[in-house]
A and B are shown apart, each in its own frame.
Chain A
Amino acid sequence: MMVTVKINGKEYSKDVEPRTLLATFIRDDIGLTGTHIGCDTTNCGACTVLMDGRAVKSCTVLAAQADGHELETIENEADKELSMVKESFIEENGLQCGFCTPGMIMTSLYMLRKNKNPSEDYIKNSLAGNLCRCTGYVSIINSIKNANEKINGKKAVVK
């Protein structure tokens, strides 16, 4: 079946099997390999992309379900806010091996767009679907606080 999606502002059409998952569609059919597949069982969030602005686990979405929708991935160079989140993760050592990072960053972007005045609890709850096996969450949360300062201009993240 034909699946047409807009990814990072560019339109792609591919003829794929109906059972194709969005994560493999993005990686193998389109060739954008920044989106990672970690667990492949809806647990880790390494595969997080934004679909119509909402963060979802692309290993648990059919490419067919995304047909006609707009996606944003870690490769979205044009998005200034995404670049700010990336910088923040570098500055605060929000990654070690980097495997979970594309998902962490897309989820961070989603939560900071949605809430311009996030509390620490909000950040933690919003990260519930993303696992990191090496960095530890403290630096990741610090990275998100840093990104919040850059994007939303808010210094204090209250407890």
Chain B
Amino acid sequence: MFPDKFEYYAPKSIEEAAKFLDGHEDAKVLAGGQSLIPLLKLRFTSVPEIVDIGRIKGLDSIVFQGSAVEIGPMVRTSEIGENSSIRKKFPVLSEAAGHIADPLVRNMGTIGGDICHGDPANDFPAVMLALDAEFEISSSRGKRTVKAEDFFVDTFATALEPGEILTGIKIQDTGSSGRYMKYKKYAGDFSILGIAVNLLMDGKKVKKAGIGLTNCGATAIKAKDAEKFMNGKDLSDENIEKAAELIVKACDFMDDDNGSVKFKEKLLKNLFVKAVKGIGGVPK
């Protein structure tokens, strides 16, 4: 299967890429291509031009600076999963990386592509929401910063405007810890649903909760009411149950091939409890 014809452009700098995008409104940015190339091959979509940002230097590094980490959009999913500092400081991120597609796809697929694709079933968006990540977005008009919670707009729709490229992901290290739980039908499959839970503890009490949901609605969802509820509370069974109720309320489930709304609600609650109780444990 071949994609429809397109022009291929591989800029060497962000400026060059931004300039090209300005003159070519329908051009599409290519990162690892693990979502885009299958769509092009199946002719679900076609694009006049492709801008491959894989040759821009500096977009594929992981830099720890002060209390934050900056991750380039071209960092491969497998590198996220294998990076030992990320594993230590942001276990929820490495655990999610290990659940994405399969090892071969993870060797090509990138964190930036996973985020910008806007697929509600992609796993990194929920993690970004749980970790309150910030995205650096570049265009010929300069740079701007968008919070993860303002980024995911709708299915395949993000806050990226025409001509803009995601050029950096910034996450603060607050000393929190988390887990990512995902339920899928078979190895390499998309999530039926997934949940990222990240907790900053103050003794026995939650100081700050971060909860992101995969495939629980039209796009990745931040379970804000549940987060607010958990802040300042301990992790008693009662509180966890209450938070689980609020998480389910944040969802917009539909009956489909993956199961009924009832099934999904129950599944999500179970995954949440497992995640909370598993924090600090060793992810597989």
Binding site for B on A (CB under 8 A): 1, 17-21, 24, 40-43, 45, 48, 51, 54-57, 60-62, 64-65, 67, 107, 111, 125-126, 128-130
- Say yes or no: B103 contacts A60, CB within 8 Å: no
Name, among B6, B52, B76, B108, the residue most crowded by chain A CB atoms within 10 Å (CB to CB): B108
| Contact A62-B103, Cβ < 8 Å, known A18-B8, A21-B2 | no
Q: What CA separation (Å) do A149 and B54 show in the bound complex?
A: 37
- Say yes or no: A65 contacts B54, CB within 8 Å: yes
Residues of chain A within 8 A (CB-CB) of B187 are 128
- Say yes or no: B104 contacts A62, CB within 8 Å: no
20 additional A-B pairs beyond A40-B41, A57-B108, beta carbons within 8 Å, are A18-B6, A18-B7, A18-B8, A19-B3, A19-B6, A21-B2, A40-B1, A41-B41, A45-B102, A55-B104, A56-B104, A60-B38, A60-B41, A61-B108, A62-B30, A65-B33, A107-B104, A128-B187, A129-B103, A130-B104
Residues of chain B within 8 A (CB-CB) of A40 are 1, 41
- Say yes or no: B8 contacts A62, CB within 8 Å: yes
- Say yes or no: B107 contacts A56, CB within 8 Å: yes
Residues of chain B within 8 A (CB-CB) of A128 are 102-103, 187-188
- Say yes or no: B107 contacts A54, CB within 8 Å: yes
Query: SS class of chain B's interface: helix, strand, loop or mixed?
Result: mixed
Binding site for A on B (CB under 8 A): 1-8, 10, 30, 33-34, 37-38, 40-42, 50, 52, 54, 76, 78, 101-105, 107-108, 187-188
Q: What CA separation (Å) do A17 and B7 show in the bound complex?
A: 9
Nearest Cβ distance between residue B178 and chain A, in whole angstroms? 21
- Say yes or no: B107 contacts A55, CB within 8 Å: yes
Nearest Cβ distance between residue A98 and chain B, in whole angstroms? 19
- Say yes or no: A19 contacts B33, CB within 8 Å: no
Specify which of B4, B34, B38 is in contact with A19 (CB 8 Å cutoff): B4
Q: What CA separation (Å) do A10 and B187 show in the bound complex?
A: 35
Residues of chain A within 8 A (CB-CB) of B8 are 1, 18, 62, 64
Nearest Cβ distance between residue A19 and chain B, in whole angstroms? 5
Q: What CA separation (Å) do A85 and B196 show in the bound complex?
A: 39
Q: What CA separation (Å) do A37 and B6 show in the bound complex?
A: 23
Specify which of A51, A55, A56, A129 is in contact with B188 (CB 8 Å cutoff): A129
- Say yes or no: B102 contacts A41, CB within 8 Å: no
Specify which of A42, A62, A64 is in contact with B105 (CB 8 Å cutoff): A42
- Say yes or no: A61 contacts B37, CB within 8 Å: yes
Nearest Cβ distance between residue A26 and chain B, in whole angstroms? 15
Q: What CA separation (Å) do A140 and B86 show in the bound complex?
A: 33
Listed A/B pairs (30) with beta-carbon separation below 8 Å:
A1-B8, A18-B5, A18-B6, A19-B2, A19-B3, A19-B40, A20-B2, A40-B41, A41-B42, A42-B38, A48-B104, A54-B107, A55-B103, A55-B104, A55-B107, A56-B104, A56-B107, A56-B108, A57-B108, A60-B37, A60-B41, A62-B33, A62-B52, A64-B8, A65-B52, A107-B103, A128-B102, A128-B188, A129-B102, A129-B103
